[in-house]
Amino acid sequence: MIGGLFIYNHKGEVLISRVYRDDIGRNAVDAFRVNVIHARQQVRSPVTNIARTSFFHVKRSNIWLAAVTKQNVNAAMVFEFLYKMCDVMTAYFGKISEENIKNNFVLIYELLDEILDFGYPQNSETGALKTFITQQGIKGQFQTKEEQSQITSQVTGQIGWRREGIKYRRNELFLDVLESVNLLMSPQGQVLSAHVSGRVVMKSYLSGMPECKFGMNDKIVIDKQGKGGATDDAAKSGKQSIAIDDCTFHQCVRLSKFDSERSISFIPPDGEYELMRYRTTKDIILPFRVIPLVREVGRTKLEVKVVIKSNFKPSLLAQKIEVRIPTPLNTSGVQVICMKGKAKYKASENAIVWKIKRMAGMKESQISAEIELLPTNDKKKWARPPISMNFEVPFAPSGLKVRYLKVFESKLNYSDHDVIKWVRYIGRSGIYETRC
């Protein structure tokens, strides 16, 4: 289990240090700083083993979070915890920065005491935590006995993520499908690897203890329904159903029901939470195609031409498009011409960055650049790193569609129709690269 948790600033100074087990000494703090933060080579592995002690770290902007253990723990669990911890901190005081951490020093220790017990992760549901870890100082005298016992029963009860007696005048539900599409493509346009990792994030403002049911165009469900009866419905929607490779759910989802009927039903927490995560690898809609053309003219010159094509419905608009064309390390000068957007040679990043604000579907645009090179002493050939791309599109590249989201609340008198529901799809680029 986790032996201790440290938070460092960018200089490697310790901001938070919480040790849960005796096998972690003070020197572990320094070991991580010396071997990871101040390491000569950049440490790329998120898990580092120093003197039989394992360090798991994540970095948020300039802040390092490191979990330390001497035992053989489940690394995935530790990282899940670290991410959760980041979420909790963000929910409490916004952006994770050195200043925020310093200002919420006491709060963080209080949280750490709560969400980790002797190194074992505990309830880290923000909603639940907020009921008894507050930022307004000691509230004890205002809290009645009843309230306290209610918190206890809720936190320790079966549905730890939702308290009873929530009431909203307007019952509202926000559902976001957030996807990031990852791609590696050969210069000839062959897909070498591609996958989409998506999240369904919900924000629920519902009264009482509602029971929800979420439906999407999961291939297995659609096929099963197809067999059940309505054959032409299956034929119609068959094309649009998607094959989900793997998925994980928020703890509120009844897994037994998912296993038996593959239906996603749950009592939602109050406020914002991530309902599920999934990954698909088949039939991905690639929103952009990058066609590179690199020509070396002698030893001192390089000509680059890159064409991008948008590959979605013309009615949709992609945003925040950025193409990053790496340049050789001995670049001594760059001339760029582009038809659309703005392009600039960024010496500090060794790349030409081409930015386009908006671009509709089924369009194409191109950039051409002349790169002057300085002859160098060593004959090392330029490795030609891939051209990478960033964008945001208003649809789900995996093809996922939300079919329904039903809300049942038997005790209170509102029905599914009374709930206002909002659905939004956002597709972003993950690592979207094309070799050149």
Q: Which is nearer to other proteins, 301 or 363 (CB)?
A: 301
Q: Which is nearer to other proteins, 117 or 349 (CB)?
A: 349
CA triple 164-169-171, angle to 5 deg: 75
Residues 6+ apart with CB under 8 A from 123: 114, 115, 129, 155, 160
**Contacting residue, 45, 71, 103, 332, with other proteins by CB under 8 A:** 332
Q: By CB under 8 A, which span of 130-138, 166-174, 241-249, 344-352 interacts with other proteins?
A: 344-352
| CB-count exposure of residue 188 (10 Å: 0-12, 13-18, 19+) | exposed
Q: Least Å distance between CB 151 and other proteins?
A: 41
Q: Does 331 bind other proteins (CB under 8 A)?
A: yes
Residue 390 CB coordination number (10 Å): 16
| β-bridge mates for residue 356, sequence order | 321
User: Binding residue per annotation — 346?
Assistant: yes
User: Binding residue per annotation — 59?
Assistant: no
Q: Least Å distance between CB 332 and other proteins?
A: 4
Q: Which is nearer to other proteins, 8 or 20 (CB)?
A: 8
Q: Which is nearer to other proteins, 146 or 378 (CB)?
A: 378
Q: Which is nearer to other proteins, 64 or 161 (CB)?
A: 64
Q: Least Å distance between CB 100 and other proteins?
A: 16
Residue 9 CB coordination number (10 Å): 17
Q: Least Å distance between CB 9 and other proteins?
A: 9
Q: Does 347 bind other proteins (CB under 8 A)?
A: yes
Q: Does 335 bind other proteins (CB under 8 A)?
A: no
Q: Does 360 bind other proteins (CB under 8 A)?
A: no
CB-based contact 218:272 (threshold 8 Å): no
Q: What is the DSSP string of 408-436?
A: E-SSSS--GGGSEEEEEEEEEEEEEEE--
CB-based contact 352:327 (threshold 8 Å): yes
User: Binding residue per annotation — 130?
Assistant: no
Q: By CB under 8 A, which span of 102-110, 283-291, 329-337, 425-433 interacts with other proteins?
A: 329-337
CA triple 321-326-332, angle to 5 deg: 125
- Please state the three-class secondary structure of 128-144 as a single string: HHHHHCCCCCCCCCCCC
Q: Least Å distance between CB 44 and other proteins?
A: 13
Say what angle helices 231-238 and 219-228 make with each other, to 10 degrees. Answer: 160
Q: Least Å distance between CB 271 and other proteins?
A: 34
Q: Which is nearer to other proteins, 107 or 353 (CB)?
A: 353
**Contacting residue, 27, 62, 149, 335, with other proteins by CB under 8 A:** 62
Q: Tokens at residue 45, please?
A: 């592995």
Q: Does 34 bind other proteins (CB under 8 A)?
A: no
User: Binding residue per annotation — 411?
Assistant: no
Q: Which is nearer to other proteins, 186 or 350 (CB)?
A: 350
Please give the single-letter amino acid code of residue 408. Answer: F
Q: Least Å distance between CB 355 and other proteins?
A: 18
d(CA 57, CA 417): 46
Q: Does 148 bind other proteins (CB under 8 A)?
A: no
Q: Does 42 bind other proteins (CB under 8 A)?
A: yes
Q: Least Å distance between CB 331 and other proteins?
A: 6
Q: Does 102 bind other proteins (CB under 8 A)?
A: no
**Site residues (CB under 8 A) for other proteins, limited to 365-384:** 372, 374-378, 380
Residue 347 CB coordination number (10 Å): 11
Q: Least Å distance between CB 302 and other proteins?
A: 13
Q: Does 40 bind other proteins (CB under 8 A)?
A: yes
d(CA 44, CA 64): 13
R_g (Cα) of the chain, nearest Å: 26
Q: Which is nearer to other proteins, 40 or 169 (CB)?
A: 40
Q: What is the DSSP string of 32-75?
A: HIIIIIT-SSPP--SEEEETTEEEEEEEETTEEEEEEESS---H
User: Binding residue per annotation — 357?
Assistant: yes
Say what angle helices 105-115 and 75-93 make with each other, to 10 degrees. Answer: 140
Q: Which residues are annotated as a binding site?
A: 342, 344, 346, 355, 357
Please give the residue ranges that form the binding site for other proteins (CB under 8 A). Answer: 10, 40, 42, 62, 329-333, 347-350, 372, 374-378, 380
